[in-house]
């Protein structure tokens, strides 16, 4: 009995420590742990009593470690949809996603109303090619219902060896029946940046997410686009369906196009979690007019870039209102190899506008449609404000190659020295937002000449 009492005192001590950790600076600031209040201590004693009763009386033997971890998960999940307790395996996977490579299907998911929901498919991945859409609810994975799975457990089931397949059962808004997608896993590409010349002197850069080398990749893409005999007359920066990623990369990308001024501010309850990030003058100049594309799938780091360039008048923002994830998370490694992902602050644009649950409102509203010779179909999305506990403030077949060639001929689009690539053809014939952005940039040049 004495041994059991000592054991529960030890457990209670661990719980008090974890409670204190929640109130400290997460980004490397580990000093001055705050003592729990009397009320917190009393509640933890109740927790210890419950744990003791379960261990003594439950019909089957239980593992106290699993009970405590389950309690921690429940505690964190009650705060907001972006905070989480990551078991060692899940914490390791999180590190791999931003620094290494992995094999899977390529989607970004969240938990909405206890249902695993797609924020956005990563462009070019198996899930994207299969037709998985933002807002799709994942009901089953290989026939197993997901309602009892934690987020990281669902991720683990969808990952696997390259070349193997997984069946994802989807519930999609507007459809009465579930849809099965058989998806063959592949290596998820680390390249987050692609670029094209849409027509002579008009560039296009697409950022699919913000990884370790995204800013350097953007610089390389710009050098390639600007290497022509004549300067670029305009640039389209495409951040649609970009779910975000690393904060420092978003800041560096915005800094590429700004010479001075605030890029973003983060403000938390603690002074150590509040900071402003400013632009720096760079020897490389990119003075060409810009149109930046966003939609409901543009979140977090994407919204930081869009908000900074919009507030400074550096880019015209076109599309639909972004996702609205304006909160800052940081991950603290714990002693057993697990991790604590915790929301510590909110993002604010240079003009002091809060992004959280509001998003970036475009300067020019253009609904996204899949154009295929008819009206097309609006792309469904979910937003931050649709998530439970959020912090308060089917496309049709494309055109034939022959029809694409005719449209390109009518529009006079030719890439210097080569035939337009399939991707450029698709953007200019089927993507109404890209076409609108290009029309604006072209008109920009015409009116600039007229004013002189």
Q: Could you state, in order of their start, the residue ranges of all structural domains in the chain?
A: 2-62, 101-187, 193-451
Please give the CATH superfamily to which domain 193-451 belongs: 2-enoyl-CoA Hydratase; Chain A, domain 1 (3.90.226.10)
Burial of 346 (0-12, 13-18, 19+ CB in 10 A): buried
Say if strands 316-319 and 364-365 run parallel, antiparallel, or are unpaired. Answer: parallel
Average pLDDT over residues 392-398: 55
Give the per-residue pLDDT at 446.
Answer: 76
Least confident of 205-214, 286-295, 364-373: 364-373
Closest CA to 83 of 325, 407, 408: 325
Q: Kindly indicate the confidence band of residue 447, based on its pLDDT and cuts at 50, 70 and 90.
A: confident
Contacts 24+ apart (CB under 8 A), 21-24: 21/332, 21/334, 21/340, 22/340, 22/342
Q: Measured on CA atoms in the order 97, 98, 102, 103, is the torsion positive or negative?
A: positive
Average pLDDT over residues 168-197: 91
Give the per-residue pLDDT at 405.
Answer: 54
Q: Kindly indicate the confidence band of residue 190, based on its pLDDT and cuts at 50, 70 and 90.
A: low
Closest CA to 361 of 329, 326, 330, 386: 326
pLDDT of residue 401 exceeding 80, the answer is: no
Give the per-residue pLDDT at 134.
Answer: 80
- b/e 277-299 (16+ beta carbons within 10 angstroms → b): bebeeeeeebebbbbbbbbbbbb
pLDDT of residue 252 exceeding 90, the answer is: yes
Q: What whole-number distance in Å separates Cα of residue 430 and Cα of residue 194?
A: 18
Burial of 336 (0-12, 13-18, 19+ CB in 10 A): exposed
Q: Are 325 and 242 in contact (CB under 8 A)?
A: no
Average pLDDT over residues 350-374: 84
Average pLDDT over residues 366-382: 57
Closest CA to 373 of 403, 345, 393: 403
pLDDT of residue 229 exceeding 60, the answer is: yes
Q: What whole-number distance in Å separates Cα of residue 105 and Cα of residue 111?
A: 18
- Which residues have C-beta within 8 Å of that of residue 244, sequence separation ≥ 6? 209, 210, 250, 299, 300, 301, 302, 303, 325
Dihedral angle over CA of 69, 72, 78, 79, nearest 10? -130
pLDDT tens digits for 292-338? 999 988 999 999 999 999 999 999 999 999 999 999 999 999 999 99
Give the per-residue pLDDT at 414.
Answer: 45
The pLDDT mean for the chain works out to 83
Say if strands 339-348 and 327-333 run parallel, antiparallel, or are unpaired. Answer: antiparallel
Which pair of tokens denotes residue 113? Answer: 């109303």
Which pair of tokens denotes residue 31? Answer: 């000093």
Q: Are 201 and 230 in contact (CB under 8 A)?
A: yes
R_g of the chain, CA atoms, integer Å: 25
Closest CA to 355 of 385, 387, 316, 379: 385
Q: Are 134 and 128 in contact (CB under 8 A)?
A: no
Q: What whole-number distance in Å separates Cα of residue 366 and Cα of residue 383?
A: 17
pLDDT tens digits for 418-428? 445 778 888 99
* Residues recognised as catalytic: 300, 311, 325
Q: For the domain 101-187, what is the CATH code?
A: 2.30.42.10
Give the per-residue pLDDT at 376.
Answer: 41
């Amino acid at each position: 009995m004495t041994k059991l009492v000592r054991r529960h005192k030890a457990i209670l001590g661990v719980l008090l420590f974890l409670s204190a950790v929640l109130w400290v600076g997460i980004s490397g600031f580990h000093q001055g742990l705050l003592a729990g209040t009397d009320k917190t201590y009393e509640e933890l004693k109740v927790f210890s009593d419950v744990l003791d009763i379960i261990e003594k009386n439950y019909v089957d033997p239980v593992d106290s470690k699993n009970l405590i971890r389950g309690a921690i998960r429940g505690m964190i999940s009650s705060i907001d949809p972006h905070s989480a307790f990551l078991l060692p395996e899940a914490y390791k996977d999180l590190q791999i996603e931003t620094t290494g490579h992995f094999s899977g299907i390529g989607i970004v998911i969240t938990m909405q109303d206890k249902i695993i929901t797609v924020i956005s498919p990563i462009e070019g991945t198996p899930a994207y090619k299969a037709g998985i859409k933002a807002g799709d609810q994942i009901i089953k994975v290989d026939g197993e219902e997901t309602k009892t799975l934690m987020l990281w457990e669902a991720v683990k089931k969808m990952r696997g060896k390259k070349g193997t397949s997984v069946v994802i059962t989807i519930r999609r808004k507007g459809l009465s029946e579930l849809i099965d997608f058989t998806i063959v896993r592949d290596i998820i590409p680390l390249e987050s940046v692609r670029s094209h010349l849409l027509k002579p002197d008009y560039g296009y850069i697409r950022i699919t997410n913000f990884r370790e080398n995204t800013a350097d990749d953007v610089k390389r893409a710009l050098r390639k686009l600007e290497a022509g005999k004549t300067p670029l007359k305009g640039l389209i920066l495409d951040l649609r369906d970009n779910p975000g990623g690393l904060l420092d990369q978003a800041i560096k990308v915005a800094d590429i196009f700004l010479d001075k001024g605030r890029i973003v501010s983060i403000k938390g309850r603690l002074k150590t979690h509040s900071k402003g990030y400013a632009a720096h003058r760079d020897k490389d100049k990119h003075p060409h007019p810009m149109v930046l594309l966003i939609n409901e799938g543009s979140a977090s780091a994407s919204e930081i870039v869009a908000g900074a360039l919009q507030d400074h008048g550096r880019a015209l923002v076109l599309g639909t209102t972004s996702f609205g994830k304006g909160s800052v998370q940081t991950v603290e490694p714990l002693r057993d190899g697990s991790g604590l992902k915790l929301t510590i602050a909110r993002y604010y644009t240079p003009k002091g506008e809060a992004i959280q649950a509001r998003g970036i409102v475009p300067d020019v509203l253009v609904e996204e449609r899949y154009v295929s010779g008819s009206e097309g179909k609006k792309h469904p999305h979910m937003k931050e404000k649709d998530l439970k506990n959020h912090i308060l403030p089917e496309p049709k077949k494309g055109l034939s190659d022959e029809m694409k060639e005719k449209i390109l001929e009518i529009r006079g689009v030719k890439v210097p020295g080569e035939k337009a690539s399939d991707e450029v053809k698709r953007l200019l014939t089927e993507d109404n937002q890209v076409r609108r952005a290009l029309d604006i940039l072209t008109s920009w040049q015409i009116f600039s000449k007229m004013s002189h």
